[in-house]
Amino acid sequence: MRVVIGVGESVTQTLNQFKKDDNYTVIHLDIPKKGDTMEDYEAGFPESTIKSAFRGTAPKGCDALFVVYGGVPENGILLRAIEMLKKKGATISVFYMVPSVSTLSTREIAQHNLAFGALQELTRSGLMERFFVADIEQVEGMLENIPVAKYEEYLYSYIVANFSMINYFNHVKSAVHIPTEIPTGARICSLAAFDFESAPSDFFTLSHPTTRHYYFGVPKKQLEEDGSLFRKIKEFMKSQEQKGVNNAFSIHEAELDNTRIWRVSYTSEIQTT
């Protein structure tokens, strides 16, 4: 069971999507307003409220994912909250959503840059396991014909569904697994979702990736009967070769109508927006 944690109103829609999956325990830290800056929230850190929220729902040694939306002042409590869970032996990752920077105020941009950089540094140091990043504008470009009334629901459903698929593949036995070593410091990650006929659609374009893992989700019938599938996958992987990047892949049975491909790219380089 993975514990998903978010702070403030900005992550509500994302957390609501995680709540639909019984494999996640969701903790929404909806704390009282402390001010307009991250410094205000850090100074007024509600320790008793956070301890109460974690008690029972975030047990010792849990696998925790912090969902973070950039630019909001509530992110000022993140480092203390992460430290509290770390003392309980938790394995911690971050899923950071980069907002549309053009819509942010000067102060919000500064808050985004501070949190974005600090959380990556902590992850790269080994304090946290992974730092996943998604650019909201980049993901929006993958979606078409979204009704205005359901815009946020569609957007965050798409993000969470693809993240959850990769999380699922990482916890089940694969039909085929061709591994490669991920460098110790390569903890900063981006996702992509696509198929054989389309180019990879990255949720965030990483600078200087060192490793990529491709997950092939294949319908059961095709996995059992398609004699050309493995050759097609190997030919596809050959087309993905890039100098300086090590590729791995795995093939999984999935409840799909057609084969889909997911990719996680890894780097040790601090990213900027």
Query: Can you give the pLDDT at residue 147?
Result: 87
Nearest to 267 by CA among 195, 178, 170, 202: 202
SS3 state at 62: coil
pLDDT tens for 92-134 read: 999 999 999 899 999 999 999 999 999 999 999 999 999 999 9
Query: Can you give the pLDDT at residue 34?
Result: 85
Query: Can you give the pLDDT at residue 144?
Result: 84
Query: Can you give the pLDDT at residue 1?
Result: 63
SS3 state at 76: helix
pLDDT beneath 70: ranges in the chain: 1
Q: Tell me how far apart the alpha carbons of residues 180 and 38 are, in angstroms, rounded to a whole number.
A: 39
pTM: 0.95
DSSP code of residue 242: B
Q: Tell me how far apart the alpha carbons of residues 185 and 124 are, in angstroms, rounded to a whole number.
A: 6
DSSP code of residue 183: P
C-alpha distance from residue 116 to each of 104, 109, 123, 197, 209 (Å): 15, 10, 11, 34, 18
β-pairing, 2-7 vs 63-69, is: parallel
Query: Can you give the pLDDT at residue 33?
Result: 86
Residue 46: phi and psi, rounded to 5, are: -85, 75
Nearest to 251 by CA among 214, 200, 199: 214
SS3 state at 211: strand
Query: Can you give the pLDDT at residue 14?
Result: 97
